[in-house]
Amino acid sequence: MGVSDGVDEEMRVRGLVAAQGKAAALFEEVERRGLVVPGAGEREVSDRIRDLANEMFGTTKHWHKRIVRSGPNTLFPYRENPPDRVIGADDIAFADFGPIFEEYEADFGRTFVLGDDPVKHRLREDLAAIFAAGRRAFEADPDITGARLYAEVARLAAEAGWALGGWHAGHLVGEFPHETIDGAKTDSYVVSDNVHPMRRTDRAGRRCHWILEVHLVHERKGTEGAEGVDGADRAGGFGGFYEQLLDLA
């Protein structure tokens, strides 16, 4: 790697970390202003967060669809598009946004618990704890593959009494859109069949940087017609979401 390449990489790191810092500030303000509230529709809340990002940072572009989900809709993985739902008084909800700040992607997700349900509050606490444990596993293994990290996140979830809500637990991030990253899907995601080391360069010779996302679900047991995570047990299951940079802080 030449001097110019090193400078470019330093700029990329600064750009990604700064983008995440702005996303974190955005979500702190979302919570401070109480934008996720009972009686509001999910799309309404999504639009409020979009407008707040513009107000705070002049941000108008998002590199993936804006997601706000509540109640049973929190069971659905990213690719699904459940119908808009009004947030209830005792709900759990999460937001997953990908704002672009000065051409660098952020990818940030947090969960909001609106009532006193102890299981929902435990889920929210476990999201951050499992994210931190997943990051420690990544840091402890210089040769870790996407498959090994996915298995560890799944193990941590099961140990805490939850299931994973999606087919992957993270992905590459940078100056390019999520939907087309690095060509080969398995190479670009923290997923069970990605046997490639996560610490590597991409096809353009740039160092890979990663997002870790933890989507945990609580599935109601013994309910007639329960179909598992993708089928979404509509009779009382719910989930939560936590997402940010894995290898940079």
User: What are the structural domain ranges in the chain?
Assistant: 3-245
Q: Inter-axis angle of helices 42-57 and 3-33, to 10 degrees?
A: 120
Which CATH number is correct for 3-245, 3.90.79.10, 3.40.50.1100, 3.40.228.10, 3.90.230.10?
A: 3.90.230.10
pLDDT at 218: 95
Strands 67-70 and 92-97: antiparallel
pLDDT at 228: 42
Pair of tokens at residue 89: 């008084």
How far apart, in whole angstroms, are the C-alpha atoms of residue 81 and residue 60? 22
Enumerate residues 6+ apart whose C-beta is below 8 A from 20.
Answer: 106, 108, 244, 245, 248
pLDDT at 184: 57
- Residue 44's CB: how many other CB atoms inside 10 A? 15
CA–CA distances in Å: residue 46 to residues 55, 69, 78, 103:
14, 9, 15, 21
pLDDT at 222: 46
pLDDT along the chain (249 residues), means of 10: 65 92 95 97 96 90 84 93 96 91 86 97 98 98 98 98 95 64 74 96 89 92 43 69 95
pLDDT at 89: 96
User: What is the radius of gyration, based on Cα positions, of the chain?
Assistant: 18
